[in-house]
Amino acid sequence: MDKWKVVYYISSSGNNPVKEFLDANLKAKIKALRIFSNVEEYGLISVIPHIKKLTGTPLWEIRILGEDSVRILYVTEKEKQILLLHAFVKKTNKTPQREIKIALERANTLDK
């Protein structure tokens, strides 16, 4: 059985924005790493309560609840691989367009 892979987006300057965000938010990092571990071991089906499709985009979000609601936006460009594009603290009911735009721009840099 092929394992899933969780891959971080790396910018052209070598930055890893999702890892940097998680390193600065320890509680979210612990929860996120547990979700990533489940994805790698059992696939996306194992984390259905934590994921949601963003309507009208190719993006999905991992929802991390707690003191702060954290979202990690990702795409599944390749089979059995999720690419983590952007992470942020969600303060409103709707995902802000600015956050979606950042993730989409990062996803589009991969196509070139």
CA–chain centroid gap for 56, Å, is 17
CATH architecture of 5-110: 2-Layer Sandwich (3.30)
Place of tokens 């052209």: 12
Kindly list the domain boundaries of the chain, sorted by start residue: 5-110
3-state secondary structure the chain: CCCCEEEECCCCCCCCHHHHHHHHCHHHHHHHHHHHHHHHHHCHHHHHHHEEECCCCCCEEEEECCCCEEEEEEECCCCCEEEEEEEEEECCCCCCHHHHHHHHHHHHHHCC
pLDDT at 111: 62
- For the whole prediction, is pTM greater than 0.85? yes
Q: What is the pLDDT along the chain (112 residues), one digit of tens a residue?
A: 578 999 999 999 999 999 999 999 999 999 999 999 999 999 999 999 999 999 999 999 999 998 889 999 999 978 899 999 999 999 988 999 999 999 999 999 876 5
